[in-house]
């Protein structure tokens, strides 16, 4: 297998003007995608937080989503199989079609390094979102129609969401996306003895109210002085 080298994107253009771009690394994206296409088991080494939207190149976003979709369904994700999915994708044709996917595999790094490239792709995506949030703050700060404290709270909320989920808050989600998450949660609850959607605390009354603990949840157990809010720690 050849050492990984950056692949060309479209035809060369000597007259192209250099324009500053947000933080990104197309070579890292290519390396990660190549490793996944070469060895689908490398997907297990990736963080659950990594999404197609974390890739900078739009076609890479769609390609990662397709790879993830196939792997989660227990299907093979290789260039020949995925070619059928992207036949009508203009970017796929521009980058060289099947040849581009085959080159990704041919120049892929060892699958053991996939997590390292994934962390780099994820980190750069966070930096792009930080720049976007900073731009929103600069644009909205001079607006007297919104109280300064409200703007601070909004900025804090955006940063908190980014830190917790790896993506900025985006308001409403599609019905299909919400339904998919609900079905998955219901399935996980059914498989648990206590029929809880989240992780059980073994405090029955608390579990019934919370439905168990869920990823990214911040749970605060509080009470008036002398009411015994610290007693669960003794059990």
Are 111 and 199 in a shared domain?
A: no
Are 76 and 188 in a shared domain?
A: no
**10 inside domain:** no
Strand blocks (E) in 29-103: none
Number of alpha carbons in the 13 Å side-chain half-sphere of residue 97: 5
171 pLDDT tier (thresholds 50, 70, 90): very low
Domain of 210 in residue numbering reads as: 182-217
Are 123 and 204 in a shared domain?
A: no
Are 87 and 156 in a shared domain?
A: yes
CA dist., res. 62 & res. 85, Å (int): 10
Query: Residue 61's closest CA among 48, 71, 75, 50?
Result: 50
Query: Residue 33's closest CA among 123, 109, 128?
Result: 109
Are 142 and 186 in a shared domain?
A: no
Number of domain units in the chain: 2
* Residue at which a domain ends, from 139, 169, 199: 169
Are 69 and 128 in a shared domain?
A: yes
Are 60 and 137 in a shared domain?
A: yes
Are 163 and 190 in a shared domain?
A: no
Are 102 and 198 in a shared domain?
A: no
Are 149 and 209 in a shared domain?
A: no
**13 inside domain:** no
Q: Are 60 and 101 in contact (CB under 8 A)?
A: no
Query: Residue 120's closest CA among 29, 3, 43, 4?
Result: 29
**76 inside domain:** yes
**235 inside domain:** no
pLDDT at 235: 43
**5 inside domain:** no
Are 28 and 131 in a shared domain?
A: yes
- Strand, helix or coil at 81? helix
pLDDT digits (tens, 9 = 90+) for 16-64: 555 678 899 999 999 999 999 999 999 998 988 899 999 999 999 999 9
**229 inside domain:** no
Arithmetic mean of pLDDT over the chain: 81
Three-state SS string across 162-229, please?
A: HHHHCCCCCCCCCHHHHHHHHHHHHHHHHHCCCCCCCECCCCHHHHHHHCCECCCCCCCCCCCCCCCC
Least confident of 3-17, 26-40, 108-122, 189-203: 3-17
Least confident of 9-13, 117-121, 124-128, 210-214: 9-13
29 φ, ψ (degrees, to nearest 5): -65, -45
For residue 199, the cross-strand partners are 213
CATH number of the domain where residue 44 is located: 1.10.860.10
What's the whole-model pTM score? 0.63
**131 inside domain:** yes
**9 inside domain:** no
CA dist., res. 36 & res. 50, Å (int): 13
Are 192 and 127 in a shared domain?
A: no
- Strand, helix or coil at 14? coil
């Amino acid at each position: 297998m050849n050492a990984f080298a950056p692949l060309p994107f479209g035809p060369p253009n000597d007259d192209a003007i250099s324009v500053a771009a947000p933080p990104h690394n197309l070579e890292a994206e290519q390396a990660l995608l190549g490793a996944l296409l070469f060895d689908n088991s490398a997907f297990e080494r990736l963080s659950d937080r990594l999404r197609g939207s974390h890739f900078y190149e739009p076609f890479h976003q769609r390609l990662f989503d397709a790879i993830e979709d196939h792997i989660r369904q227990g299907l093979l994700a290789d260039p020949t199989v995925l070619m059928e999915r992207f036949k009508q994708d203009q970017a796929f044709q521009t980058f060289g079609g099947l040849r581009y996917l085959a080159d990704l595999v041919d120049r892929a790094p060892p699958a053991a390094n996939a997590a390292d490239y994934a962390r780099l792709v994820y980190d750069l995506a966070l930096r792009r979102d930080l720049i976007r949030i900073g731009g929103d703050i600069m644009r909205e700060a001079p607006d007297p129609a919104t109280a300064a404290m409200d703007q601070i709270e909004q900025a804090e909320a955006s940063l908190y969401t980014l830190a917790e989920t790896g993506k900025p808050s985006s308001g409403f989600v599609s019905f299909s996306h919400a339904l998919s998450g609900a079905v998955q949660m219901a399935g996980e609850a059914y498989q648990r003895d206590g029929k809880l959607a989240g992780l059980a605390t073994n405090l029955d009354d608390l579990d019934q109210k919370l439905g168990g603990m869920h990823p990214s949840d911040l749970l605060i157990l509080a009470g008036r002085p002398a009411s015994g809010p610290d007693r669960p720690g003794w059990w």
